Structure 1
């Protein structure tokens, strides 16, 4: 690594993965909002993508439950999968996206519960801290759901044509 910063030891692969995450999120945002008018839809899409990006980044860098090697952290893939499948089923239209993000928020809240049942031996940084962080992510997904619902109400004529 060219930059010698204490506590920051990224290798070339880390930079490639980060670039792919950032470029993927930016590309997804551009693709999903290219034909949309409602500002609430754009904000909702951006918030959902930023939340997914942060979830992947934090989980892969240090892990949310215990260390990054803790198998309980693999449960977060189910959260992302829930959102992706819900978005595809909704065809990226505002009302369905709202429901998909509510399901994603619920899945986010279920992760520490399931992890506590099956992986309670490694629950660092602490039980309440893990539940609080998951609640923050769930709140971000729920806020995105509310914004999608607002987009659906604000322009009912456009709700069927968003991202079409």
Structure 2
């Protein structure tokens, strides 16, 4: 019963944070025409923020230690930021194009990896490294196929974005590896 109450409280916190974050663009829209969100924008961002928070709350219940929790935060944070930036401005060029769709596939790979890993540290570590490899491959494909010629894109930007996200997922992999250390104190749930 205590665990269920804690979960309910955590879900309410995630919902409250989601509403507070969505209030930022809503209030900004009242004062400037620079911010122009549609109902769909609010729904999509709400689902993204709430879904990320919900995923953390659910996975956190199975976290064996604090390093694992940090690894989850890094993995979910990197995935959230990649989806958000891709939807907001596009990571390669702007708008929907093949390069930005490739980043959506990377996010899907993270989700599938989390589900298949069953939250085991070793499998989560392998998932993070597989995502790093996929990002390196995506960067190479983008450069070879001339996506650096898209409006608002350059080779340096493509490499920088790929390296940035690869570094975050690599850090996640290292943290999942470190979370297996027998010297870490087990968390008291």
- Do they superpose with TM above 0.5? yes
Describe the SS at the equivalent of 2:180. Answer: helix
Cα-to-partner distance string for 1:13-46 (whole Å, 9 max, x where unaligned): 1111111100000000011111323101111001
Q: Decide which of 49, 63, 78 is 2:76's aligned counterpart.
A: 49
Q: What is the aligned residue count?
A: 158
Cα-to-partner distance string for 1:64-102 (whole Å, 9 max, x where unaligned): 101122222100122122222222232111011001001
Q: Decide which of 123, 135, 147 is 1:108's aligned counterpart.
A: 135
Aligned twin of 1:90: 117
Higher relative contact order by CA 8 Å / sep ≥ 6: 1 or 2?
Answer: 1
Describe the SS at the equivalent of 1:80. Answer: helix
Aligned twin of 1:125: 153
* Greater radius of gyration (CA): 2
Q: Which runs of 5+ in 1 are unaligned?
A: 159-164
Aligned twin of 1:161: none
Aligned twin of 1:15: 42
